[in-house]
Amino acid sequence: MIFEKGYLYHIYNQGNNKQKIFYNRENYLFFLKKVNKYILPYADVLAWCFMPNHFHLMVLVNEVELYQGFTQSEALSINKTNHSEGLTSSQTLTLSKRTFNDSIGILLRSYTRAVNKQEGITGSLFRKETKAECINCFKGIKPSFIQSNISITNLLSEKQYPQVCFDYIHQNPVKAGLVKEAIDWEFSSAKDYAALRNGKLINKAVAEEFVDI
């Protein structure tokens, strides 16, 4: 996956061979905590939905790499201060770099280990490649969520892509026949935008810059 700072992305993956990735309510909540830990340091989440065998995230990327929780500029400042104070290499704080890609990989691997242990299974829980489609890069390539709406594809402009992705993510449970209304599905941000729950994962203020809520 290639991420650029300041752009919107639709991140998604599904179970290997379309198998389940969530077996009970606790699994959904555990994955939610993982997203908080491994996604929020790098990006604002604008919409999310966890389905029995796949997940969707719509995010605005703020950082593509961090140094033990510091931005690159903060890390450079720390290293510059260490150098000016004449500290030796053994005395200097070593800041290891972690990219957004790395963090997503850690999220999925750590979740997989927990679920495999719970279910007494082994092997890959998710498909090998997590997908990340840029929503507002406008490079002439229609994202998959646009291609899936064949009947309206020709009527859409690229400026509408964020709204379509936002709505597409929330409508997943309805299209799958799991609920009648998007707000009836517990494991998505639809309830938060409907003011039926005060979820902490999404950034509504940032979302309002790109979509009609």
| pLDDT score, position 22 | 98
With cut-offs at 50, 70 and 90, classify the pLDDT of residue 140. low
Say how many C-beta atoms besides its own lie within 10 A of residue 155's C-beta.
Answer: 8
- What are the start-end ranges of the E strands in 54-177? 54-61, 65-67, 97-99, 131-134
> What residues does each domain of the chain span?
8-65+99-207
Model confidence over 90-123: pLDDT tens digits?
A: 444 566 789 999 999 999 999 999 999 999 999 9
User: What's 8-65+99-207's CATH class?
Assistant: alpha beta
Model confidence over 24-41: pLDDT tens digits?
A: 999 999 999 999 999 999
Model confidence over 148-158: pLDDT tens digits?
A: 554 444 455 66
pLDDT over threshold 50, residue 87: no
Model confidence over 151-198: pLDDT tens digits?
A: 444 455 667 899 999 999 999 999 999 999 999 999 999 999 999 999
- What are the start-end ranges of the E strands in 74-151? 97-99, 131-134
Write out the DSSP string of 170-202.
HHHHHHTTS-SSGGG-SSBTHHHHTTS---SSB
Question: pLDDT over 90 for what percent of the chain?
Answer: 72
